[in-house]
Amino acid sequence: MTHILVTAKLVPDLVEELEIAESGTALDMTWLRLIINEFDDHAIEQAIILKERSGCEVTVIAPDQEGMDDVLFTAAAKGADRIIKLVGDFEEGVNNHALARTLAASTKEIGPDLILTGVQGNDDFDGSVGPYLAEYLGMTYVGYVAGVTLEGDKAIVHKEYPGGLIAELEVTLPAVLGIQAAEQPPRYVAVSKVRQMMKEASIDEVDVLDLDPSGGLEISSMYLPEAAERAEMLDGDEEEIAARLVEIFKEIGVV
Amino acid sequence: MPERVNYWGIPHEWGPPELYVYTIMFLAGFIMLFRFYKQASLWWKVGRPEPRWDKLHIRFWKFIQYAIVQTKVLNERYPGVMHVTIAWAYFIFFLGTALATIHDHFFEFLFGNALFAYKFVLDIFTVVFLVGAGMAIYRRYAQKPKRLTLDPGFTRSLVMVTVIVIGGLLTESFRLAVDQPAWAWSSPAGWIVAQLWIAIGASDTSLINWHLGIWTFHLLTVAGTIITLPVGTLLHGLTGPLNMFFAKLDRPTGELAPIPLTAAGDQVFASKLSDLTWKQLLDGDACTECGRCQDACPAYAAGTPLNPKELILSIRDALRADAAAVIGGNGDTPDSPTLVGDKIKEEVLWSCTTCGACVDVCPVLIEHVDTIVDMRRYLVMEGAIDAELQGALANLGRYGNSFGKSDRMRARWAKGVDPKIKDAGREPVDYLWFVGDYASYSPTLTEITQQTADVFQKADLDFGILYKGENHAGNDVRRVGEEGLFEMLVEKNLKALSRSDFKTIVTTDPHSYNALKHEYASNGNGEWHVLHYSQLLDQLIASGQIKFSKKLGYKVTYHDPCYLGRYNGIYDAPRRVIEATGCEIVEMPRNRDKGLCCGAGGGRIWMEEGEVTERPSESRIHEAVALNGVDIFVVACPKDITMYADAVKTTGQEENIVVKDLIELVHEAM
């Protein structure tokens, strides 16, 4: 039976106004509310769809962040067979290099055939988790995937390109897929089902001692977007606008 | 002295007439009971148990009120009179037959004046019956209202009951034509018919022969009707009264039952026949197919797939079709016949606004809404809900409001209110104002909510709000069928409320009002006094705390919110408030308990609309603009502002009518 591992993380919930911490290099966590990364939610949904379709085993793994238990129990209520929490110093946020290294270490022990992760997250400063994870595991990575079918030790994936192009790729497992969208929107799980899971299911905990963020970005300053009138609207027909654009590019020295 | 003659003209050569009359009737009665038992036993063989034997005195009273006097049937004039004349006549005939039996075998009393009275009453009710039967024929063949089931089964029943009565009348007329007693006037109808036989000069022998023939025919039609009663449309004569007797008494209509548990403690979600209770199955068999619910249903009128009558009949038909399979297969095999999604489509269940109009008009007290919510609970557990509803529920679970906004923004509307509104979680107040989602978050309602605060402040009311401690009250979350989320919201609100020191809760939202009043008490933590703002305003005006400086003089109409009116019987308080502001109320044809739903209730406001011909809110606006000289449509529910402001636009009536909240009138008149 194909074993699918889904990695998930929580990202800042944008219904709250974001504030910059005193350090000036990070968001103020005291005012932050976290929500599951939308793309990871789709990755979980895609895994459950595959389970329903092909009888896979689904494991969801995620770092310990405030509210993660609810997310994991919700995944269990949807049909995840095993839920794992990485317990370590995640509260202040870690970069994706560190997260991917930690996930890679656990993944080696779990030994899944297919790894699904959200293609991106709104707090990806240093690139997204999927490619790093694939790199650390030495696996193939395909991103922007919207649709997966399993055929033996292969996965047929639909990868979305800009401009409405879709490629059908055959990937030999094991592989990491960055999910753009599940085949159907993430399903609703009744609150009582989640509560039931809280009583019945248990979260496996894996201790993470070291977090290695090397290779990531060093944030020197973070600030809210400033309102400014910098936009200049170009009038005229296509020829005129193109000519003016080239002029501007020359002025600012990009061409 | 006149005396009752038994078995007049019936030859005794075949043995004593009592013997075969009683034999036939007992046999017919036995067959009837056996057949009825076969049908009725399905209710408890298939359905789940549910105790409905408490408060017997109230149950008997309900039986008298609804089955004998038939007050609900009489709520509509023509069909009401039509039905009670037929039913009451039969009650009297039944009583007359019973009295005759008593006279024959136990206690002789039918002579002299008692006999005259006896004969006279029975004869008059013969005429009464014929009037009713005539009305029924006219209704079925000339009026043909859309809501009526024009099925041959009903025609057969009408023919049977009419033939019985005419048979009795003819029998009597033949006897009177032969005897021509001095007291024949005490049977006026029979005597009039007898004149015909006398006029045509029929001989005594012929009349006695005709009498014998018709009498035998009468006997056999009565027996035949009794035998076929449980398999025909007259079954409602048994199931209807039973349904009234077993109507729910343990809770008000505004309170839903929690999710039922099996003996093993597992939750039951209604997807199959065997998930329903015996009473819900009885609902199906009790339906008379009168169609009043269909006429009253806003979802049906809007052209959605829901027809409350068809819904209840689907339960009946499913029981008849699948009961054997359910009983044989122990009911719980994976391939046992399903009800929800199969015989009752999902979109039918989602179309319901839970306005309660169907329940309110049902003459046999069928409980449609409870069954619909039970089935919705199943769909929610299956995750079979539309994307918009899913979004709303996810928001409610995460933020405590359907708008998907931060809980910290809940009291943003109060920012400009001066002096600052007390935080009821921090300091004691007399009145805790439970603001509700729409009044808190909807930008179009901010001004109205602020005006409410202003009126309360001007009235020197000691009040406070819960700020971010308030969550959606859960009324419609529960009616959507998301019971777990409802419980979670209740827990959160109870936590905030238990930390607050207040005497009374006041809310502008009828939905919150209903939940806080009926559905929080049963969730522990005692009971509070809950007021709708229309009631509080009414009190403040009466006590002089609110004084008006001017008479508005507008001609307005008032829309009864379902959860304020039909569910909680609050009709007069808002009307008194409107009149106190110096406005004249012109009622819409559908007012008070007949008030039309705006279409938003039961979680409909969160769902995809689906195909509709005319939205209930649009139908309502058309109803209002048709009133002479009315240019203000007054509402007492925040959601109504949203619903009707939209409807005024989509119907293009901006020039003719404006939607105002009750508080806007009060504010203006102060």
pLDDT at B333: 55
Same domain, B239 and B272: no
Whether residue B468 sits in one domain with residue B375: no
pLDDT of residue B1: 65
- Specify whether B226 is located in the same domain as B329: no
Q: Are residues B78 and B191 in the same domain?
A: yes
For residues B105 and B199, state if they share a domain: yes
Q: Would you say residue A252 lies in a domain?
A: no
Contact B404 A15 (CB under 8 A): yes
Mean pLDDT for chain B?
94
Residues 6+ apart with CB under 8 A from B406: A15, A16, A33, B399
Residues of chain A in contact with residue B492, where contact means CB-CB under 8 angstroms, are none
Give the model confidence (pLDDT) of B591-649 as tens digits: 999 999 999 999 999 999 988 999 999 999 999 999 989 999 999 999 999 999 999 99
**Which one has a higher pLDDT value, B540 or B331?**
B540
> Given B319, B348, B381, which residue is the final one in a domain?
B381
Mean pLDDT of B435-464: 96
Judge if B102 and B203 occupy the same domain. yes
| Lowest-pLDDT range of B7-16, B306-315, B476-485, B655-664 | B7-16
Residue B397 sits at the chain A interface (C-beta within 8 Å): yes
Which of the 8 DSSP states describes residue B149? -
Cβ A15–B385 below 8 Å, yes or no?
A: no
Q: How many residue pairs from chains A and B have C-beta atoms closer than 8 A?
A: 41
How many C-beta atoms lie closer than 10 Å to residue B39's C-beta?
A: 17
A125 found inside a domain: yes
Per-residue pLDDT band for B332 (boundaries 50, 70, 90) equals low
Same domain, B323 and B360: yes
Q: What is the pLDDT of residue B454?
A: 97
Is residue B121's pLDDT more than 60? yes
Q: Which of B402, B488, B489 to mutate to test the interface with A (most CBs of A within 10 A)?
A: B488
Q: Is the pLDDT of residue B335 over 70?
A: no
Q: Which residues contact B89 (CB under 8 A, 6 or more apart)?
A: B125, B126, B128, B129, B132, B165
pLDDT of amino acid A236:
87
Euclidean distance between CA atoms B356 and B248, whole angstroms: 15
Of B543, B563, B590, which residue is a domain's last? B543
pLDDT of B325 above 60 = yes
Q: What per-residue confidence (pLDDT) applies to A138?
A: 96
Q: Is B99 an interface residue toward A (CB < 8 Å)? A: no
Instruction: Say which range, A123-137, B71-85, B521-535, B632-646, has the weakest mean pLDDT.
Output: B521-535
Q: State the total domains in chain B.
A: 4
Report d(CA B215, CA B174) in Å as an integer: 10
* Lowest-confidence segment of A161-165, B518-522, B584-588 by average pLDDT: B518-522
Q: Chain B: nearest CA to A28, how far in angstroms?
A: 16
> Quick one: B289 and B369 in the same domain?
yes
Of the candidates A189, A191, A195, which has its C-beta nearest B383's C-beta? A189
ipTM: 0.87
Contacts with A16 from chain B: Cβ below 8 Å? 406, 408
Q: How far is B373 from chain A (nearest CA, A)?
A: 15
Closest-CA distance of chain A to residue B282, Å: 30
The answer to whether B511 and B563 are in contact (CB under 8 A) is yes
B334: CB partners within 8 A, 6+ apart: none
Name the residue in chain A with its Cα closest to that of B404: A15
Residue B387 lies in a domain: no
CATH number of the domain that A83 lies in?
3.40.50.620
Best of A15, A49, A198, A199 to substitute, by most chain B Cβ atoms within 10 angstroms, is: A15
Q: Reply yes or no on whether the pLDDT at B359 is more than 60.
A: yes
How many angstroms away from the CA of A111 is the closest CA of chain B?
31
How far apart CA A9 and CA A114 sit, in angstroms, is 18
B273 and B172 in a common domain: no
Residues B209 and B279 in one domain: no
Based on the fold, state whether residues B530 and B661 are members of the same structural domain.
no
- B34 lies in some domain: no
- Residue B390 pLDDT > 70: yes
B390 CB within 8 Å of a chain A CB: yes
| Residue B125 within any structural domain of the chain | yes
**Minimal C-alpha gap between B405 and chain A (Å):** 6
Which one of B408, B482, B484 has the shortest CB-CB distance to A195? B484
pLDDT (mean) for B31-45: 96
Domain assignment present for A13: yes
Alpha helices in B139-199 (DSSP H): 152-179, 188-199
Q: A86 lies in a domain?
A: yes
The answer to whether the Cα torsion of A8, A14, A17, A23 is positive or negative is: positive
Give mean pLDDT, residues B243-261.
93
| Distance from the first to the final alpha carbon of chain A | 55
- Tally helices (H) and strands (E) across chain A: 6, 11
Does residue B36 lie within any of the structural domains? no
Residue A226 belongs to some domain of the structure: no
- Residue A46 belongs to what domain range? 3-207
B436-456: b (≥16 Cβ within 10 Å) or e: bbbbbbbeebbebbbbbbbbb
Whether residue A183 is contained in a domain is answered as yes
* Radius of gyration from C-alpha coordinates of chain B: 30
Q: Which of B401, B406, B472 to mutate to test the interface with A (most CBs of A within 10 A)?
A: B406
In a domain, residue B419? The reply is: yes
Which residue's entry shows tokens 């790894």?
Answer: A115
Reply yes or no on whether the pLDDT at A231 is more than 90.
Answer: no
Give A193's contacts in chain B (Cβ within 8 Å): 381, 484
A43-56 average pLDDT score: 95
Cα–Cα distance, B339 to B273 (Å, whole number): 6
- Both B227 and B88 in one domain: the answer is yes
A22 part of a folded domain:
yes
Residue by residue, DSSP assigns A22-38 as TTSSSB-GGG--EEE-H
Domain presence at residue A243: no
As a whole number, mean pLDDT of residues A242-252 equals 91
The answer to whether B573 and B538 are in contact (CB under 8 A) is yes
Domain of B181, in residue numbers: 54-244
In a domain, B622, yes or no: yes
- What is the CATH classification number for the domain harbouring B494? 3.40.50
Q: Express each pLDDT in B519-536 by its tens digit.
A: 997 655 556 889 999 999
Number of domains in chain A: 1
* Domain's final residue, options B196, B224, B244: B244
Q: How far apart are CA A68 and CA A74, in angstroms?
A: 10
Query: What is the spatial distance between Cα B273 and Cα B255, in angstroms, rounded to a whole number?
Result: 23
- Residue B566 domain flag: yes
Asked whether residue B33 is domain-assigned, the answer is no
Whether B381 contacts chain A with CB within 8 A = yes
